[in-house]
Amino acid sequence: MTMRTRHVLIAMVVLGIVATAGIYAVLQKLGDHLPALLPPGRACVIDAGNAPAASSGASAGTSVPLDSEQVANAATITAVGLRRGVPRRALVVALATAWQESKLENLAGGDRDSIGLFQQRPSQGWGKPEQIADPRYAANAFYTALLKVKGWEKMRVTDAAQEVQRSAHPEAYEKWVDESEIMARALSGEATGAVSCTVTESSSHGAEAAQTLAAGVKLDWGNVSTADVADLVGVALKVREPKTGWQYAHWMVAHAQDHGVKRVAFSDMEWTAKSGSWTRITQRGGAGGDRVVAEVY
C-alpha cells in the first residue's frame, strides 16, 4: 500500500467518524421530539384551522401529526376537561403531561406500577389499575389533582404538571407546550376544520357502529342533545353555538377510526374518511349551524 493510499483511507475513516458523531449529536439534541418530527404512519393532523392568527400562540402553518390512537386520546382528555369547565390552560397542562408520560398512548404499564395516559400509580392513591386504565377516569383524576394546586394558573406548564406528577424530570413537560396549545385550541372549538384524519373502513357498520359512536359521545361529553336527520345512519348532535359545534365535530373526526365514521358535517364544512380533510360544501346534507352530523359506514 502506497503512502498516498494510506492517507486517503485515513481521511475517509476520519470523515466517517465525524459524520457519525454529528448524526449522533443531532439525534441526542432532538431527544423526545424525534417522534413528533419524524412521524412514521401518522394518520391525523391537528393544526390552526381557520382561527384568526391573533388568537394563535403558534406560527402560521404549524401542525401536530398524530396517529389515530393519539388523536383519540387527546380528544378525550380535552372533552373531559371541557365537560368539567376547566380553563383552557388546564387542557394544555393535561395534554403536555400525557404527551410526556405516555406519548398520548394508553399504556398497560410503565415505571414500577405506573399505568395509562398519565402513568398514574395505584400505590400512590390514583385508583385501582382498571380505573387508571380508563382514559376518562385518568383525565378526571389529573384535573382534580391539578385544580387543587394553589396558583397553578400562573405557573409555567411544566411547573404545574410537576406539582401533580412529582416526576424525576420536572422540566420535561415544557417541551410539549407548543403542540399542546395547538391541540387545546383545536379540540376546544376555537379553530374550525382543524382536526383531519385519514382512516380505513371499520369492521363496525350500520346500526352497530352508530350505537358505539353514540355511547362514546355520552362517555366523553355526558348527556348531549341529539337531533333527528332523515336517512342518516350515524349520530346528529344539537348545538347552540359554533364553538360547541366544532368541539363535537373535531371529536368525531378524532374518534373516526375507532367508531367507523365516514363523514362529519357542521356549518358549511364537511370531513370525509375518503379525502381525510375538511372542505366547504354548498349542499349541507342535514348539517348546519345548529347540528353536527356524523355518518358511519
Render pLDDT for 81-96 as a digit per residue (tens, 0 to 9).
Answer: 999 999 999 999 999 9
Q: Three cell numbers at 251? A: 371529536
Segment 240-275, tens digit of pLDDT: 999 999 999 999 999 999 999 999 999 999 999 999
Q: ∠97-99-101 over CA atoms, to 5°?
A: 65
Q: Three cell numbers at 243? A: 364553538
Cβ atoms within 10 Å of 208's Cβ, excluding its own: 13
pTM: 0.82
Q: Three cell numbers at 20? A: 457519525
Distance CA 108, CA 130 (A): 10
Question: Can you list the alpha helix ranges (DSSP code H) found in 123-261?
Answer: 129-132, 135-147, 157-165, 177-187, 206-221, 242-254, 256-259
